[in-house]
Structure 1
Amino acid sequence: LVLRVDVAGDPSFTELLDQVRHRSLGAYEHQDVPFELLVERLNPTRSLTHHPLVQVMLAWQNFAGDSGPAAGLALGDVEVTPMPVDTQTARMDLTFSLAERWSEDGEPAGIGGTVEFRTDVFDAASIEALVGRLQRVLMAMTADPTRPLSSFELLDEAERDRLDEIGNRAALTEASMAYRSIPALFAAQVTRAPGAVAVTCDGRSLTYRELDEAANRMAHFLVSRGAGPGQQVALLFSRSTEAIVAILAVLKSGAAYLPIDPALPDARIEFVLADAAPVAAITTADLAGRLAGQSVTVIDVHDPAVAIQPGTALRTAPSPEDLAYLIYTSGTTGVPKGVAVTHRNVTQLLASTASGLPRAGVWSQWHSLAFDVSVWEVFGALLQGGRLVVVPESVARSPEDLHALLVEERVSVLSQTPSAAGALSPAGLESATLVVAGEACPAELVEQWTRGRAMINAYGPTEATIYAAVSAPLSAGSIAVPIGSPVPGAALFVLDGSLRPVPAGVVGELYVAGAGVAGGYWQRAGLTASRFVACPFGGSGTRMYRTGDLVRWRADGQLDYLGRADEQVKIRGYRIELGDVRAALALVDGVEQAVVIAREDRPGDKRLVGYVTGSVDPAAVRGALADRLPGYMVPAAVLMVQELPLTPNGKLDTRALPVPEYQDADRYRAPGNAVEEILAGIYAQVLG
């Protein structure tokens, strides 16, 4: 019999027994229905990797008064002795065959039995741990059957200690280091090597002294315009040396920098400026028009008034607790939210020599300044004496040109999203360490990049300051690519819905605590309180960030990433709330109902797709969205449907939504392997 157990509402053990009894008795009336017929009628999604409908089976035998597994089997004078047999196969992932035991004098002697399991899913140690947990839970339930299910402890002391160790719980009680601000650490590096090259971009280089003096001049000018601690200064720049100077200048002034990507639509820029209320905005002459009509003082980075400012340091310096930057991410309600990150949040990550992240060398700066990985790119180089190679905007869009630049500049630390790294050739980059982050890393990318060079998979939401976990160096042959273990200063907890740690191997939601947890969301107290919650594993006032990511601990102490617990997705490294896109879609004239999902109709090719009801032109809808949303948030296709399909429970049936036909004729993708190169060559020759 296939039975469904409902534990919603956190029932007590007594209530659960009652429910199971009624469901079982009702199901016994249909026990003659063949299992094959049930599968045929329900038609579940088939898979060669597991049994349909159910993967766990319980066989319960309770022949009163008998003591062995052969109880109830009578063969005259023949003595029956059970013999364990290795069947070499397992029908289910997990099968419990349990029975009551009785002593020779007929007294109850507990429960015994066997566990059969698939060796490609479980190992013997995992099954032994599972049986131990089952014993603990059964003993606790029978001792007090009125307790709610969530109150029963699955873990023993050894398991709790192990989770504390691999999750780095000790980070919450370690003595706090005397962290310094970003400008203070940069000044120390200038003193150590003033003549070393700090930044290179488009054939132009600045030494550490030249970069420091240029930033000082801009910082003096910003202070004269009202910048200082507690203020924000917006930055509207393409990737450039001027952008690096402006970032340092804002930080030296004591203000926090607010990066705005020029690719954002005007409506988005207007919202960010209104919400953050920066005291000024620095940009270039060619981008200044994007700020026209905004109520913010616009400063041209090449203003002659900046050049006459002193190149010496300001007399005052920011505190480690001052805000360093404000980066806006997608919001669940359709409203972007600004994440407020302090100097201490950043410097505690970069100051550690045990994080597993690369140290000084030649670093590339490829990410948008509005993506927090850029913070690590910039200051991972400049606070450690490295050389920062800023990738010009035109080069960043071309994998071939980017590859040529990386080889020419002998870049040794390369940071990419997995999607971008997949389009980049590893040839000639044998001395580079590749750090991927921003989205799930596919195993095939590891196969492509790990031969002959180091590759690291890093994980961290903006709210936990860039990276909270870093993998050990990856190696080819991995089936699942881990997101790693906590960086120094971070504590990671995999919890259930009641904020209780789940055992290793069990899926739970990831919570991040420690020195990297940001201050919260800018002027969003309610949202901050819902995502930055009290941490029950640290002292009074300790907070942890609820990531919404589903993970599990591996036996080696690293985490596997399994997806999102909510509607937030990552596409090409950008974190996108589907609610944000859906809200914009619903505002288009003529749209009655709207839904947005992330489809992956081809492996590794994840895209946003919108479905609408009403009377609209799908092409016009995409055009309207392009005026309101960044390009990466505009669905690859918008489809008209007569009605949105629903499941019997009244929820959206995403499997019933039609597959779109993408319009990719104007998009170029380079051949990904030798076969594609040959085919591309043949077509090119035939078509001329």
Structure 2
Amino acid sequence: MMNTLHERFAAQAAQTPDAIALTFEGRSLSYEALNARANTLAQRLIAEGVVPESLVALLVERGFDMVIGILGILKAGGAYVPLDPAYPTERLAFQLSDCEAPVLVTQRGIALPETTAKILTITADDTEDDGACTENPLTAVSEKNLAYVIYTSGSTGQPKGCLVEHRNVLPLFDNPVFTTTEHDVWTLFHSYAFDFSVWEIWGALLHGGRLVIPTDAERRAADSFHALLRREGVTVLNQSPTAFSQLMAADEDAPKLESLRTVILAAEKLEVASLKPWFARYGDAQPALWNLYGITETTVFVSYRRILATDTDSTVSPIGVAFPGWTMHVVNGELWVSGAGVTRGYLKRPELTDERFVCYQEQRVYKSGDLVAVLPNSELDYIGRADLQVKLRGHRIELGEIEAALVQFPGVRGSAVALHSEKLVGYTIGQKPDSSALGNHLRAHLPVYMVPTVFVHLESFPMTVNGKLNRRALPLPPSALPPSPCPVGEAPLEQVLALWQHVIGTNEALTGDDVFFDIGGHSLLLPIVRDGLKKLFDVELSLVELFEYPSAKALAQRVSQPAQTSQNNGIRDRAARQREAIARLRRH
């Protein structure tokens, strides 16, 4: 019996050796070739001493090497620890130090954090057919051994590694709820350091399907990703609601996605009203649209619910019922989970493991920290994270309840709510609503203390590397910006630095050599910086110009002598700055 992921994959490769397993940038790799290249890497890892329970760090760019690396580590008997090059260096360094992986698999040209691990670079032998190993390694790994260690978000402290065994993962793909075949085409949209990727990778490769790997540029631009879905004939699409809201906007003016048969939304609370434009165009027969709820600590997904057009008239966010093998318990409004997917716990965090993984009704359960309500049909309504509750003037407020009411307003396709300076701020995407009408709509559905006093319309929401809403990157509302963040008599440099501190929300001392994007700034904050400069210096700057003058010193010189600067800058110097600005704009 095949009780590990790599054994199941090897059996599939033997069954359909010539079928295409991976597609990336117009190139393809067959099941036979992928299996052989992974075998070659596995033999190198075995020679380095990798055995069952060995943690092997993997730091590679998007492409074939991601999947070759994962398979090679598993075939050697080890557990992979995915490190995304897009993450900050400090986070990567912490993860490497924390997991104490003896080996780091990487590629040439990637900047590596400081580490004591043995560096193993993926070579042409691993990525070319010539010389690849056709024999599957024999190891003593079993279903009870680790398959991977994925680090959860560090938004409330240092990231923590979740220990996931083969037996936690395989039941996901043996369930009768979703049927997938060798004819299906999936995308690896998410970061391989985010456990949504586990569903995408093995959903395709354990069933003989094809896995399309979008480039970073295609993932970031919804219109490019939409074009890729059409071009590759993708049939199974997995998205966070935030990412899907961008895709829906791109879909409105593009040919329909005729090949799609299944859309799975997960990783965030789904506001079903936001899907009205999608159902208006596609109906709810094909593609079938599902809302899945999941947790890293209980192995990707726990429950499922088919979403229909009739659901969009409700403010409920239904997460349905548990997958076979998982059980959901509601304890004082909090969701606890038991069953097949409950993982081993946290790496080197026994106290936290004991706190979150407890015994309940003679079962080992994970306390999710998510708030839910039981609906009349016994399904669950996802309310939100317990840590997303805020307290304002004595009232305890669920931000998710306000967000659900916002997307009920005509034309609003997505919403977010944050608390800034004791004010609730509502963010929307889609058609720009009239603030007065939006406020009246909310007052008809919510207590007055839950109605935001400020509304901000965005072209799109900032997203994390994992495709979730990046709440920390939501821009401050213009009304939160004071007319002058520092005394008028201060020098331009001091005024620029004070403005940056306020917009970014930091009290750290800054210098003239600091660069806006290196101290926490990002492109969504630039309009607020531009407005602040207008108030302080009565100068009109374009967003491109803000990229041209990224350091505080350069920007202070520009705003203090706007006329002279524009007249005296040489054409060649300005062209060079603009080239640099465009490159910076693409990065941010």
TM-score, reference length from structure 2: 0.66
Residue 600 to residue 196, structure 1, CA distance change in 2 (3 Å): farther
- 3-state DSSP class of the match of 1:244? helix
Measure how far apart 1:294 and its partner are.
Answer: 2.2
Give the unaligned 5+ runs of structure 1.
1-177, 497-507, 570-593, 640-662, 668-688
Q: What is the CA–CA distance in structure 2 between the aligned matches of 1:636 and 1:494, rounded to whole Å? A: 44
Q: What is the CA–CA distance in structure 2 between the aligned matches of 1:564 and 1:484, rounded to whole Å? A: 17
Q: What is the CA–CA distance in structure 2 between the aligned matches of 1:214 and 1:546, rounded to whole Å? A: 40
Measure how far apart 1:596 and its partner are.
Answer: 10
What is the correspondence of 1:216-615 to structure 2 with a 5 Å cutoff? Answer: 216-287=39-110, 289-291=111-113, 293-302=114-123, 304=125, 308=131, 310-331=133-154, 334-352=157-175, 354-356=176-178, 360=182, 361-424=184-247, 425-426=250-251, 427-432=255-260, 433-450=262-279, 451-452=282-283, 453-478=287-312, 479=314, 480-496=316-332, 508-536=333-361, 538=362, 542-567=363-388, 600-603=425-428, 607-608=471-472
Residue 313 to residue 271, structure 1, CA distance change in 2 (3 Å): same
Letter of the 2:378 counterpart: G
Which shifted more, 447-456 or 605-614?
605-614
Which structure has the larger Rg over C-alpha atoms?
Answer: 1
Q: What is the CA–CA distance in structure 2 between the aligned matches of 1:530 and 1:664, rounded to whole Å? A: 51
Q: What is the CA–CA distance in structure 2 between the aligned matches of 1:384 and 1:221, rounded to whole Å? A: 27
Q: What is the CA–CA distance in structure 2 between the aligned matches of 1:230 and 1:348, rounded to whole Å? A: 21
For the 8 Å contact 2:181–2:208, the answer to whether it is kept is: no
Measure how far apart 1:629 and its partner are.
Answer: 8.2
Residue 408 to residue 306, structure 1, CA distance change in 2 (3 Å): closer
Measure how far apart 1:410 and its partner are.
Answer: 0.5
- 3-state DSSP class of the match of 1:345? helix
Q: What is the CA–CA distance in structure 2 between the aligned matches of 1:390 and 1:447, rounded to whole Å? A: 29
For the 8 Å contact 2:40–2:125, the answer to whether it is kept is: no
Q: What is the CA–CA distance in structure 2 between the aligned matches of 1:513 and 1:630, rounded to whole Å? A: 41
Residue 385 to residue 306, structure 1, CA distance change in 2 (3 Å): closer
- Count residues with an aligned counterpart: 424
For the 8 Å contact 1:261–1:370, the answer to whether it is kept is: yes
Identify the residue that residue 204 of structure 1 maps to in structure 2. 27
Measure how far apart 1:193 and its partner are.
Answer: 1.2
Letter of the 2:62 counterpart: R
Q: What is the CA–CA distance in structure 2 between the aligned matches of 1:624 and 1:349, rounded to whole Å? A: 46
Measure how far apart 1:595 and its partner are.
Answer: 9.3
Q: What is the CA–CA distance in structure 2 between the aligned matches of 1:214 and 1:598, rounded to whole Å? A: 56
Measure how far apart 1:443 and its partner are.
Answer: 2.1
Letter of the 1:290 counterpart: L
- 3-state DSSP class of the match of 1:566? helix
- 3-state DSSP class of the match of 1:516? coil
Letter of the 2:365 counterpart: M
Letter of the 1:456 counterpart: W
Q: What is the CA–CA distance in structure 1 between the aligned matches of 2:209 and 2:245, rounded to whole Å? A: 26
Q: What is the CA–CA distance in structure 1 between the aligned matches of 2:519 and 2:78, rounded to whole Å? A: 29
Measure how far apart 1:628 and its partner are.
Answer: 8.6
For the 8 Å contact 1:236–1:261, the answer to whether it is kept is: yes
Measure how far apart 1:567 and its partner are.
Answer: 4.6
- 3-state DSSP class of the match of 1:199? strand
Identity of matched residues, %: 36
Measure how far apart 1:245 and its partner are.
Answer: 0.8
Letter of the 2:122 counterpart: V
For the 8 Å contact 1:264–1:631, the answer to whether it is kept is: no
Residue 487 to residue 664, structure 1, CA distance change in 2 (3 Å): farther
Q: What is the CA–CA distance in structure 2 between the aligned matches of 1:310 and 1:603, rounded to whole Å? A: 53
Give the unaligned 5+ runs of structure 2.
391-418, 430-460, 462-468, 487-493, 507-513, 530-540, 546-588
Measure how far apart 1:509 and its partner are.
Answer: 0.7
Can you list the C-alpha shifts for 1:512-564, whole angstroms capped at 9, x where unaligned? Answer: 1100011111100001111111122x4xxx31111111111222332111111
Letter of the 1:313 counterpart: N
TM-score, reference length from structure 1: 0.56
For the 8 Å contact 1:257–1:324, the answer to whether it is kept is: yes
